[in-house]
Chain A
Amino acid sequence: MTAVLETMGLGKQYGRRWALHDCTLSIPAGNVVGLVGPNGAGKTTMLQLAVGLLAPTTGSIAVLGDAPASSPAQLGKVGFVAQDTPAYARLSIAQHLHMGSWLNPDWDDEVATQRIDQLGLDPKQRAGSLSGGQRAQLALTLAIAKRPELLLLDEPVASLDPLARREFLQSLMEVVAEHGVSVVLSSHLVSDLERVCDYLVVLVDSHVRVAGEVSELLASHHRLSGLRRNPSTLPANQEVIEQSHTDKQSTLLVRTEEPILDPNWTVTPITFEDLVLAYMSQARDTKHLGRPALGVVS
């Protein structure tokens, strides 16, 4: 399968700060990708690079095999819902749809009008008077009616109330089912991503911590609990992602492709949320303590 998004050593620097650093990724087509990380981790930078609003400082990025925003055809193949779902406040919904049809080569007017109709929106209403949820739906409609091969969404639900958030994600899933489009969706809300994603990219402190299919990641990560033990004594094929210790007990989250044979451990499967949080807190630990902290444990 070809990659919808492929990066090689991708980096973006603002002044002296790296918003994204040395990021190498290859996301296969046909997935709903959750791009997760704390605020300021580089999610927006990554998506804006993918859509050509930003240019990389280092490395390269290819979207659907081409440089982002390199041609009208390339732009037409990528649907983008920007953060805070911007819209022209003074233009009506219908005028936004006109814009879409004028500016995009493969625009599907039927899809657009149908969606607006289904949402119960008045095409004559100005975008400035829409609620946040309605505006997000308008932005999604504009992105979908382009008939894109790849849909990029930057925190589309962050500012929505829980109900609007669920409705939005539901319509997104309908679109995926109906049009078979690949999706990259950024969010810091783990529960939302869990519902919709089958591929996960965790981005922390401008670095990619982990990337892979959710089912594979869940199968290869385990929570081990047992008597207190120094993690450095674990087999080489078990990578410790997260650890916590009490006086008597150790709880570890390890990644391994091999079965865990040590009978001293109680092995439990992990949830999507455990997985994400483990990688996010790993970053924080290494940042503050440095890796040798492992040696403190006796």
Chain B
Amino acid sequence: MIRFAALQFRIQAAIAFGALVVIAIVLAVTGPHLVTLYDTTVVPCSTHNDCSAATTALTDTDGPIQVFLTFLLLVVPALIGMFWGAPLIAREFETGTYRLAWTQGVTRTRWLSVKLGMGVVASVVVTGLLSLMVTWWSSPIDTVSAKPFDPLYFGVRDLAPVGYAIFALVLGFSAGLVMRRTIPAMFTALVGFVAARFVMNSWMRPHLIAPLHRVYTINGSSPLNMGETPAGFGVTATTRGILPGDWVYSNQIVDKAGHSPTTAFIDRACPLGHASAQANYQTCATNLAARFHLLVTYQPESRYWTFQWYEMAIFIGLAAVVVGFCFVWIRRPS
């Protein structure tokens, strides 16, 4: 059965691995330059305290490739679900060949196991290699830009894409199994996958681990922003003191009970008098410090790998549920 599944899968696999080779060549040619650039411009810059030019130059290098790679890893799991998962069984129904396949000397359960197993292995290999290459290529830029939790980057580096690909594949397969039509199954796989990613990004991931809190007293050097906001004059905290790679949920000026200062209080505490901006700032900070402190809620960068593992495990878990459903469905009296 494995040989037959491989025979049927060889064209899709060849296309994928061909594309992978092309991408590998492009990245192998351009990647070392980024490493050199990092070593020669960013590493020495810290000694003379002027890094902004060097980092900007680095993050701007090979811009189109950066955009392309991010886009590629965003869509590859969806493509796997649509073009590998959905047709894997829906095509058999559409062309009637399931009547040929399921009447050979192989039980339907085994047929399903091998088909899905092969699809999953191929998906893991393709996305795993792609993610590895992209993560390596981008590592100098990622080190400088330091936003590993950014939703745009978190899902296109390291382990997460592998989990997405497995989930998308079995989602497409199950849609094909139930609908028995390739095009609707492809569409369902796409919608389902995008929805799962969206729910994970927006609602689930921030709650996976309880965030840390850090409290700062307000003094002259406290990071405050003062200025006009759409709601009127306001004071907000900035996140100085937190590592650049941390994932900041919020930073607030609060009192012991957790309340923010009222606008009326701000108006009194932070006069926009005719004194200098520096004097205004000092007055404001002193007045606020009497009752308020700064509260930062965040995930430290050190939790990045924990989040990556969770992300992959959750999507693999979802995939396992879908696979269980497929095994029940394929054996049900049709």
Write the residues of chain A forming the contact surface with B, with a CB cutoff of 8 angstroms.
Answer: 48, 51-57, 69, 71-73, 75-76, 78, 80, 82-84, 86-91, 95, 98-100, 102-106, 139, 142, 146
Contact = CB atoms under 8 A, between A and B. Distances in A.
Interface string B318-333: 0000000000000011
Contacts of B4: 98-99, 102-103
A95 B7 contact: yes
B96 A104 contact: no
Contact of B105 (A54, A91, A146): A146
Nearest to B332: A55
Contact of B97 (A53, A54, A71, A88): A88
A72 B106 contact: yes
B3 A102 contact: yes
Chain B CB within 10 Å, residue with most, of A78, A82, A98, A103: A103
B3 A86 contact: no
Contacts of A75: 103-107
Given A55-B333, A69-B102, A86 B107 contact: no
A102 B99 contact: no
| Main SS class of interface, A | loop
Given A55-B332, A139-B100, 12 more contacts: A52-B102, A53-B103, A54-B334, A56-B333, A69-B108, A72-B107, A72-B110, A83-B99, A86-B95, A86-B100, A91-B7, A105-B105
A227 B103 CA distance: 55
A138 B96 CA distance: 15
Given A95-B7, A103-B1, A142 B100 contact: yes
A146 B98 CA distance: 17
B8 interface: yes
Nearest to B5: A102
A53 B110 CA distance: 15
A56 B334 CA distance: 9
A166 B334 CA distance: 35
A125 to B, nearest CB: 16
Chain A CB within 10 Å, residue with most, of B1, B11, B100, B103: B103
Contacts of A100: 104
A90 B12 CA distance: 13
B105 A76 contact: yes
A87 B107 contact: no
B107 A69 contact: yes
B100 A87 contact: yes
B7 A80 contact: no
A99 B102 contact: no
